[in-house]
Amino acid sequence: MLNKISQYFQNRFRINETQIHELNYLFWECTQRCNLRCLHCGSDCISDSKNKDMPFEDFLNAILPLKDSYKPNSITVVITGGEPLLRDDLPQCGRILRENGFRWGIVTNGFAYNSTIHAKLLSAGMGAITLSLDGFEDSHNWLRSNNTSFKNALQALDLIASTNRLFYDVVTCVNSKNISELPDFKDFLISKKVKAWRLFTIAPIGRAANNHDLQLTNQQLTQLMDFIAQSRSDKRMDIKFSCESYVGKYEMKVRDSFFFCRAGINIASVLIDGSISACPNINRHFVQGNIYNDNFLDVWENRFEIMRNRNWTKTGICLLCNDYKNCNGGAMHLWNEKQDCITTCINDKIKNQLQATTVNSQYDSSLKSNAVP
């Protein structure tokens, strides 16, 4: 009952936030170059992208007008890629962002992260970082398609976890290969003094769209939810499921807050070609403008209707779903240009698994009661 009341006010909160649509979180896809070729990459990045790195001045000039409407220190610029560490001017970009009042952080695979770049980024005012670590050595190296990626990421982890001033977390893409090692991996991260661990599933987009080995079965998905829910009582590390999907009965058990996809509501991005969108992994069909043709602030204030009014998502499997009012069509990155059905629904998978478990246990009970002594 209490959960239903909380969910009701969460839904009111979401509607209210949508009306305010205050920009707090801005991705900059500064490069599409990458030093790894991960099996699950949502951006499908390659070592030598056809898109050149965006000149920092272009990005800066696009976002400076934000200072007229926002306190820049209320906006975190999240520099992503590709792999942002491949840009030699990364510390300089960050420094100029700070000089203009913006706060900033990076999302990295950790492969090129060492003590020199760590010191440079901190000196330039980096305040947040997310590091990918996808299980123990074999699992991580398999997903990252590189035999030394785990070793390098671990070096990055030691540097990051020893820096108290950083807001950081470790993210793990859970798949059928690493799910069984999660309990041991949790202990490993705690031994490394990691403060925050976020777990994802792998969305069937980008390079992962055609790799079914990366997807969890329904049973594994509920196993993951149960693992996170139970692990959250361990206060040595903040453990949570990413805000990638509504998770039905696991809402508030696997995260601190209810599901709320803020793409286009509080989150925007400037992509490698100047496109203005929300999260970089959202289908490029939903691009709202381009910094080379449009005023970024104007686009933020006056477009993004497709993300602020999601009634159009009540289609496909969402059409008759009882949870739609809480889920609101799920995460934007799970919709493609056809806009006819969400590509995957974690809540649906969880419900199917729970139903299957119930049927199986009823069947077992009936076998026992009918058994001849």
Residues that bind another protein (CB under 8 A): 2, 5-7, 9-10, 12-13, 16-17, 19-20, 24-25, 27, 42, 73, 76, 78, 80, 95, 98-99, 103-107, 115, 118-120, 122-130, 164-169, 196, 198, 200, 242-244, 252, 255-258, 260-263, 266-267, 279-281, 331, 333
Nearer to another protein, 104 or 286 (CB): 104
Q: C-beta of 361: minimal distance to another protein in Å?
A: 32
Q: C-beta of 268: minimal distance to another protein in Å?
A: 10
Q: C-beta of 372: minimal distance to another protein in Å?
A: 53
Nearer to another protein, 95 or 360 (CB): 95
Nearer to another protein, 164 or 370 (CB): 164
Nearer to another protein, 122 or 154 (CB): 122
Q: Which of 2, 7, 5, 1 is nearest to 248 (CA)?
A: 7
Nearer to another protein, 137 or 343 (CB): 343
Supply 264's token pair.
């286009």
Q: C-beta of 294: minimal distance to another protein in Å?
A: 22
Q: C-beta of 131: minimal distance to another protein in Å?
A: 10
Q: C-beta of 369: minimal distance to another protein in Å?
A: 42
Nearest-angstrom CA–CA distance, 359 and 365: 10
Nearer to another protein, 15 or 319 (CB): 15
